[in-house]
Structure 1
Amino acid sequence: MTTLLSKLRQSTAAAVLALTAATVAGEAVAKDLTITVWAGGSNDSDHYRIDAIAMAADMLEREYELAGEELNITVEGKRDFAGWAEFKQAVTLAAEAGTAPNIVVTSHLDIAPWSSAGLIVPVEDYVDLDAWPLNNLYENLVEITSYNGQVVGLPQDAESRPFFFWKDTMKKIGYSDEEIDALPAKVAAGEYTLANVLEDAKKAVDMELVEQGYGFYPRVSNGPDYAQFYQSFGGELIDSETGKLVLDKKAMTDFYQFFVDAVEAGVTRKNHIGTDWAQWYSEVASGKAALWHGGTWHYARYTGKEGLDDFFGNIQFTLIPAGNENGRANTITHPLAYLLTQQQDEEAVEIAAQLIKIASEPRINSLHAIKSAHLGISREQSNIEFYANDRWAAEATERLLPHANAQPNHIKYGQFSELMFKGLETAWTGTKTPAEAVAEVEAEMKATLGDDLIVR
């Protein structure tokens, strides 16, 4: 008997899904599978990370039914983790115990360490990347979810991390509506830089439009956002020829100095790091801060929980400005990815692969993008009216994604990032000068990263 899955396997070079249904007296026996999905960093607005798999399961079951086979899939999802650390620990412990979820939704930065540890398997072994819908994914996102020459996962969403301006404050310090409208192009061209950020933030504080320390109101904890400021001053995260991480001491020093200057100018608080996130969201969404940086997904929080009725009337957004002539305006995209875990039941891996492929179809992914204020993963989403007619999705995609890069999928990048932020914090709080902080970072990176680091 030729099954639907065997036909799929024969029809693709990538060994797509193969489920051979046992037969008794010529009739296919029902196949029952439970597919578990764990999603990190997900709240109520991100429920489609799991719901999309359930939708895909329904579609796959219907396809089997029409092919004369019975497949029953139960999707069990979990996203109520206390934070990223708890999520990653839970996945690791479950894998060690042989009870890992079939699918994990996580940062692309987990691909390198989890691949090296054998926790996950390359998705390219189970799906045809040259067939719909995977052949329509943005190539740069597929590259971000690849490691060691293999496509390991599928991008689940995309985002970007822009710079924000409160329009009313900008007007009061002297900007016209036309000049505010021109800011995105000026930032992209390097005509509005981080030096201008400090100037405008200081005007807002000096004119008492915002409180001391609220002229420039950064992110309150470590995250990919701070790598953007390193790039603004000419820093590179990875050497393209050797694949090694890069510590550019001048760029790192200039990056740290910018935040020291912000504190000394009275536009950023010395004790800002560690501010409660709920407080931060409330303050930036109400105009208490003049300028700040954040993520594209913040749009959902500002216009939802924080009650900002007119986002576009109140806020302008741009790339992160260049810091000096050595750097560039930039933004980092930090897509989450669907990853397949190593399982003893190969059949379950094959089914899970088909589900994440179906969940990547434009209409399904657009539900997550619009619900959570993320950006799409494929070109065709611009032709989905539901997505294209959403002003935030359309403008953020056009303005930010063409300039976006990503943190490297390097097994030691997490350590690099932590040490970079540790140095920033010591300079920011005045514990060390920027030069002293960079010297300490250099010593610790050399000791921790060894031959995986280039120092410039």
Structure 2
Amino acid sequence: MTILRGLMRATALVAVTAALAGPALAKDVTISVWAGGTGPNDVYRVDSIDIAADILEREAAIRGEELNITVEKTTYPGWPDFKQALTLSAEAGNPPNIVVSGHEDIAPWAQSGLIVPVEDYVDLDAWPLSAIYPNLMEIASYSGSVYGIPQDAESRPFFFWRPSMLAIGYTDADLDALPQKVQDGAYTLANVLEDAKKMQDAGVVQPGYGFYPRPSNGPDYWQFYRSFGGTLEENGKLVFDRAAMTKFYQFFVDAVAAGVTKKNHIGMDDATWWADIGAGKAGIWHGGTWHYARYVNQEGMKDFFGNVQFSLIPAGDAQGKANTLTHPLVYLLTANKDEELVQIAADLITIASEPQINVLHAIKSAHLGISEEETTLALYSDNRWASEASQRLLPYATAMPNNANFGVYWDAMWAGLQASWTGTKTVDQAISDVETTLKSGLGDAIIIR
């Protein structure tokens, strides 16, 4: 245990009294940490706090104190169950001390008072926090304050099944050059549909498997809006670009019309989607950098680099550009009347952010590092996926805005995409519905153009 920053600010009289009283009494504390979206490859989101607790206890012992920290760890594979449980615990006045969640939760949770600024409890100018990538720290901030500490970084690439691409005329050299063509805008989303159709026409993949998108709602879909030049936020206000959203929706309608994506693809079983990709049934798809761990660990993909090429999300047209989205999860401190507990939780987060600890999560889960120093460690630099994904994707990554109104926008976007994708409504009707929802729900908080 380390001497708590709060205790370090105690009066000299208290310190002297404690010294005269003889050996310090043992202090027992319990710190709870909950992590959403966490499967078997992501256990260091909570295990790192365990490691940090051991270090904190050892530091305390060297100072002649005894601190016993019990870390209660809870992980949720899905996000809905995690959010519901957290809401109920907060309403009952007993939220976990540390929450690991997406950065987009910072704004609404800060406004509700669930979380407190982490900058009030840590030294952002001291290592290891000072070494974290500045753009990640910006993503973890809201309304001028740093609320979270990035727990990981990631990007969301496009994937191509190499054997299927070779079967329609590409060479290995072509595929090696493909990521640069995507980056330069020479290979676009229109080419994606063309190649997906060629694979199906050649019998390389089954109908509906040429382009195999994520089957559920997620941040990934905002990348396609950006591919057509869409902007999410300007000067603190959300932005709804009709033209970009229309072209984004139309791309998926065209995919269904071409038969390369199924009309009922959304809502398919996740396990089936993963298994199909692992077995090479999908021609082109999109996902996250952490998918690599799933492919090689759970889906049994023996030769990832021999079977898969990856790139940025291609541009949609001349108004857009190739891009990727990073959606870092962040450590957040919940409000607690016991300031000492909040301080201990903050100290644990600081230690867990050290490169030697964070790299365990990055490599086991196939996420990306949070600092340049982390990338120099052998465990990271010797890992081909971590190195190539960092270089190819991160320089072009943007993030969703930390805006308390973004949830309304996200829900409206997804409803419109589903309606147009499934043919329930035309693209124009879906866009009109989204605009109506945003006008009524957000008013002047969103720019509509």
> Contact 1:167–1:313 (CA<8 Å) still a contact in 2?
yes
Q: Deviations for 1:235-256, whole angstroms, at most 9, x for unmatched residues?
A: 01111x2x11111000000001
SS in structure 2 of the partner of residue 443 of structure 1: helix
| 2-structure distance, mates of 1:436, 1:326 | 23
The one-letter code of the counterpart of 1:430 is: G
Counterpart selection for 2:140 from 130, 141, 145: 145
For the structure 1 residues 371 and 288, does the alpha-carbon distance in structure 2 shift closer, same or farther, using more than 3 Å as the test?
same
SS in structure 2 of the partner of residue 317 of structure 1: strand
Q: Would you say 1:170 and 2:162 are equivalent positions? A: no
Q: Deviations for 1:86-120, whole angstroms, at most 9, x for unmatched residues?
A: 21121122122221110011111110010000000
For the structure 1 residues 176 and 82, does the alpha-carbon distance in structure 2 shift closer, same or farther, using more than 3 Å as the test?
closer
For the structure 1 residues 8 and 184, does the alpha-carbon distance in structure 2 shift closer, same or farther, using more than 3 Å as the test?
farther
Counterpart selection for 2:90 from 95, 114, 133: 95
| 2-structure distance, mates of 1:436, 1:403 | 33
| 2-structure distance, mates of 1:65, 1:94 | 33
User: Which residue is 1:15 aligned to?
Assistant: none
The one-letter code of the counterpart of 2:60 is: Y
Counterpart selection for 1:41 from 37, 42, 53: 37
Q: Deviations for 1:194-235, whole angstroms, at most 9, x for unmatched residues?
A: 011011111111111111111101010110010000000000
| 1-structure distance, mates of 2:26, 2:61 | 10
Deviation at 1:318, TM superposition (A): 0.2
Counterpart mapping for 1:152-301 below 5 A:
152-239=147-234, 241=235, 243-301=236-294
The one-letter code of the counterpart of 2:72 is: E
Q: Deviations for 1:342-390, whole angstroms, at most 9, x for unmatched residues?
A: 0011000000000000000001001011111111111101111011101
Counterpart mapping for 1:360-439 below 5 A:
360-439=353-432
Q: Would you say 1:66 and 2:59 are equivalent positions? A: no
| 2-structure distance, mates of 1:9, 1:143 | 29
| 1-structure distance, mates of 2:279, 2:139 | 35
The one-letter code of the counterpart of 1:355 is: L
Q: Would you say 1:83 and 2:78 are equivalent positions? A: yes
Deviation at 1:32, TM superposition (A): 1.1
User: Which residue is 2:25 aligned to?
Assistant: 29
For the structure 1 residues 197 and 346, does the alpha-carbon distance in structure 2 shift closer, same or farther, using more than 3 Å as the test?
same
| 1-structure distance, mates of 2:348, 2:232 | 34
User: Which residue is 1:13 aligned to?
Assistant: none
The one-letter code of the counterpart of 1:429 is: T
Q: CA RMSD in A?
A: 1.6
Q: Deviations for 1:315-362, whole angstroms, at most 9, x for unmatched residues?
A: 000000000011110011111110000001100000000000000000
TM-score by length of 1: 0.95
The one-letter code of the counterpart of 2:437 is: E
SS in structure 2 of the partner of residue 28 of structure 1: coil
For the structure 1 residues 21 and 237, does the alpha-carbon distance in structure 2 shift closer, same or farther, using more than 3 Å as the test?
farther
For the structure 1 residues 6 and 427, does the alpha-carbon distance in structure 2 shift closer, same or farther, using more than 3 Å as the test?
closer
For the structure 1 residues 9 and 233, does the alpha-carbon distance in structure 2 shift closer, same or farther, using more than 3 Å as the test?
farther
| 1-structure distance, mates of 2:90, 2:276 | 41
For the structure 1 residues 162 and 82, does the alpha-carbon distance in structure 2 shift closer, same or farther, using more than 3 Å as the test?
closer
Q: Deviations for 1:398-442, whole angstroms, at most 9, x for unmatched residues?
A: 111111010011112122111101101111111222111101110
| 2-structure distance, mates of 1:6, 1:158 | 29
User: Which residue is 1:14 aligned to?
Assistant: none
Q: Would you say 1:455 and 2:439 are equivalent positions? A: no
For the structure 1 residues 21 and 96, does the alpha-carbon distance in structure 2 shift closer, same or farther, using more than 3 Å as the test?
farther
SS in structure 2 of the partner of residue 216 of structure 1: coil
Counterpart mapping for 1:305-316 below 5 A:
305-316=298-309
Gaps of 5+ in 2: 10-14
The one-letter code of the counterpart of 1:183 is: L
| 2-structure distance, mates of 1:21, 1:199 | 78
Gaps of 5+ in 1: 11-18
User: Which residue is 2:316 aligned to?
Assistant: 323
> Contact 2:6–2:343 (CA<8 Å) still a contact in 1?
no
Identity percentage over the alignment? 63
| 2-structure distance, mates of 1:356, 1:60 | 11
SS in structure 2 of the partner of residue 340 of structure 1: strand
| 1-structure distance, mates of 2:105, 2:446 | 19
Deviation at 1:83, TM superposition (A): 2.6
The one-letter code of the counterpart of 1:257 is: Q
| 2-structure distance, mates of 1:49, 1:341 | 17
> Contact 2:107–2:402 (CA<8 Å) still a contact in 1?
yes
| 2-structure distance, mates of 1:32, 1:358 | 19
| 1-structure distance, mates of 2:7, 2:323 | 42
> Contact 2:38–2:77 (CA<8 Å) still a contact in 1?
no
> Contact 2:116–2:334 (CA<8 Å) still a contact in 1?
yes
Deviation at 1:449, TM superposition (A): 1.6
| 2-structure distance, mates of 1:6, 1:421 | 45
| 2-structure distance, mates of 1:294, 1:362 | 26
| 1-structure distance, mates of 2:17, 2:195 | 67
Number of residue pairs the alignment of both structures matches: 443
| 2-structure distance, mates of 1:455, 1:9 | 52
> Contact 1:23–1:29 (CA<8 Å) still a contact in 2?
no
| 1-structure distance, mates of 2:8, 2:121 | 9
Q: Would you say 1:443 and 2:443 are equivalent positions? A: no
> Contact 1:6–1:20 (CA<8 Å) still a contact in 2?
no
Deviation at 1:287, TM superposition (A): 1.4
Q: Deviations for 1:254-307, whole angstroms, at most 9, x for unmatched residues?
A: 001101111111111111111111110111121111100011111111111111
> Contact 1:21–1:29 (CA<8 Å) still a contact in 2?
no
The one-letter code of the counterpart of 2:359 is: S
